[in-house]
Structure 1
Amino acid sequence: MKIFSEKRIVPASAIDENGHVNNIAYLQWCIDVAEKHWFTKAPEAFKNSHFWVVLEHTISYKNPSFEGEELLVETWVTAAKGVKSEREYRITRMSDQKILVTAKTLWCFVEIESQRPARITEEISTLFM
């Protein structure tokens, strides 16, 4: 398992009317870290010719988080077959190591020019798994 991660500080803009991080913010952070992982690791030829679209999200909210807290957002690819790839996420509060969120996303690999699903190559699978 090749984990990609980034730390982030919870901004005031992520806080909802209940005083903690809005559920949508966690989902956005998962998508953001997945995109950063792709753009950090993928060869230029693939970044310029392909992109990913979301087919399905599954997310479990385990604990709340609050403004100013430092979080670790982690992601890794668990499967890549045909045109689909499954990616998992974990968001942890740094101060007490509590897991706040676990999530999975099913992605589809798409060729830019044709706008059609494209088979995930062994080169891409090897880079991410």
Structure 2
Amino acid sequence: MSKKGASYQKELIVEKGHLDDLNHVNNVVYVRWINDISEEHWEQITTPELENDYFWVVLRHEIDYLGQALLGDALTIKTRVGETGGVKSVREIYIYKNQSLLVKAKTTWCLINRKTLKPQRIGDDVLKVLFVSESL
């Protein structure tokens, strides 16, 4: 058995409000999309108990812009859970246009205990939803 980080993807169309003065997607919009897909994925895989006990905060974004997206472009945004340990979990994000990679990013998240508002070591309860077991 091996463990693989849970994954999630969604599609979207570039709208006028996503564009900057150069008529391509603004870098701030990419950051919002990176944040949004990460939060949506957590909401999809988490349990009510985990939602009551913990939340995540961003510690770091690393983003490589490899291409540009324009008005009307259809994009696919994919994410998966990466290296996880201690209080931190890395989420990898990839944004594609026509199967061509436009943006790749890594965001480091810190798990926070809702009661203490302090960083929380990632335990088995959280690891179970972040990683799925696969047969070799």
Moved over 3 A (4+): none
Identical aligned residues as a percent: 35
Q: Which has the higher contact order (CA 8 A, sep 6+)?
A: 2
Paired position in structure 2 for 1:86:
90
- 1:49-98, CA deviations, whole angstroms, 9 ceiling, x for partnerless residues? 211001111000000001111111111111111111011000001xx311
Residue correspondence of structure 1 range 30-109 to structure 2 within 5 A: 30-93=34-97, 96-109=98-111
Distance 1:44 1:126 in 2: 14
Q: CA RMSD in A?
A: 1.0
Task: List runs of 5+ in structure 2 lacking aligned partners.
Answer: 132-136
* Count of matched residue pairs: 127
**Length-normalised TM-score, structure 1:** 0.94
Are 1:125 and 2:127 an aligned pair? yes
**How does the TM-score come out when normalised to structure 2?**
0.89
CA distance in 1, matches of 2:87, 2:63: 22
- For structure 1, the 5+ residue unaligned runs are none
Query: Counterpart in 1 of 2:134?
Result: none
**What is the alpha-carbon distance in structure 2 between the residues aligned to residue 70 and residue 127 of structure 1?**
30
Cα distance in structure 2, aligned partners of 1:89 and 1:122: 24
